[in-house]
Amino acid sequence: MKLSEYKSYDDLPLFLNASTVAKVLGVSPSSGYELMHNPNFPVLKVGSRMVVPKEKFIQWVEQHTGCQQ
């Protein structure tokens, strides 16, 4: 498992790309891309680019872990 370079939600950018999602979750970049293509993941498509709004990502994490900060 890779260690996240982010220590709190405040450190996250406003929008996360697949690479950032992978870094935050401590998973491989391919796992980040796979997650971004999951229909239940809160992705915003901007042209051909896929990003996740920070607040939606935090909500997704909380819903899937049962944790709230």
User: What tens digit of pLDDT does each residue of 41-55 get?
Assistant: 999 999 999 999 999
pLDDT computed for residue 4 by the predictor: 67
Q: How confident is the model at residue 6 (pLDDT cuts 50, 70, 90)?
A: confident
First-to-last CA distance in the chain?
23
Q: Which CATH entry fits the domain spanning 9-63: 1.10.390, 3.30.70, 2.60.40, 1.10.10?
A: 1.10.10
d(CA 47, CA 32): 19
d(CA 33, CA 30): 5
Both structure tokens of 27 = 């998973």
The whole-angstrom distance between residue 22's C-alpha and the CA centroid of its chain comes to 7
pTM for this structure? 0.83
Host H or E run for residue 54: helix 54-65
